[in-house]
Structure 1
Amino acid sequence: MNNWQRKYLIRFITGMAGYSILLPLSLIVADNGRIQQPWLAILIALLPIVPFLNAMTAVVQNVRHQDELHRRIHLEAILVTALLTGAVTFSYGLLEASELVPPLPTVFIAPFMIAVWGIANFIITRRYD
């Protein structure tokens, strides 16, 4: 494992661990109604975004250190992710507008995109092996 890969893994894992810890805590604290100042409730609710952005920045830096083939794989995976997410959310939005399905909270879109990116990355990588 290269030095930059080790740094990436440490930064990514700590970012996602921080996010995983802060998310339920911020939801519990911000949702119980004890915080009277709206700005403070907003700040606490958005607190998990800080380690999440740290982890996502680590992903970008990891891709920057990769060779052209791996960059191409990531580009294709991101393209598939964007197109599939757009198609799924647009389709669901049409169904939602027709009142055929219940409203979907937007908080589910990012995890969906990350899952699709991981699956697409795996499939596209296998194509080049």
Structure 2
Amino acid sequence: MHEKVIGRRYLRELFGAIGVYWLLLTLSIVFGKDLPNGPARTLILAIPVIGVALAVWAIVRQMRRVDEFVRLLTLQNIALAAAITASLTFSYGFLELAGFPRVSMFVVWPVMAVSWLLIGLVRKITKR
């Protein structure tokens, strides 16, 4: 029962942070795109980072709430996702040297998130 309660709390916190991120992202694009280059534009375009910080805060809080076994499994999943992300982004760097299009740094986090999700799903399906 305790796991379900903290799981729901985590999802509320995380999706709340994601909602704040999307709202701030939308506002920053709408209001920042036409501003001239300068500190005001930079600040407005960077404001979605507040939502990212809230998501990190939610993840840290969840890691403190779960027991040691869940924490270990989560950290193993993150480590594997980081290794997959590093190998994919590093390998693509060589493809860019071969003429492939340059890819934005915005791609790195989605690659890691998808890796993390797939690792979790595989572990759940195989019960490992």
TM-score band w.r.t. shorter chain: 0.7 to 0.9
Which residue matches 1:95?
A: 95
2:122 is aligned with 1:116: no
Contact 1:73/1:124 (8 A) holds in 2: no
Determine if contact 1:73/1:121 at 8 Å carries over to the other structure. no
Q: Percent identity?
A: 26
Q: Which runs of 5+ in 2 are unaligned?
A: none
| RMSD, aligned α-carbons | 1.8
Q: 1:60 to 1:121 in 2, by over 3 A?
A: farther
1:46 corresponds to: 46
Task: Please tell me the residue identity of whatever aligns with 1:14.
Answer: G
CA displacement 1:50-90 (0-9 Å, x = unmatched): 01210121112112211222112111111111111110001
Name structure 1 gaps, 5 residues minimum.
Answer: none
- Compared with structure 1, are the counterparts of its residues 75 and 60 closer, same or farther at alpha carbon in structure 2 (3 Å cutoff)? same
Matched length? 125
Cross-structure match for 1:105: 104
Shift of residue 37, structure 1, vs aligned partner: 5.5
Q: How big is each residue's C-alpha offset from its partner over 1:4-44, in whole Å with a ceiling of 9 and x where there is no partner?
A: 44432322121101111221331232222xx2351111111
TM-score normalized by structure 1? 0.84
Q: Could you tell me which amino acid in structure 2 is paired with residue 121 of structure 1? A: G
Over residues 70-120 of structure 1, what are the superposed CA-to-partner deviations in whole Å (9 max), with x where a residue is unaligned?
112111111111111110001111110222x10001111112211211221
For residues 26 and 39 of structure 1, the distance between their equivalents in structure 2, rounded to whole angstroms, comes to: 14
* TM-score (ref. length: structure 2): 0.85
Q: Which of the residues 3, 6, 9 maps onto 1:7? A: 9
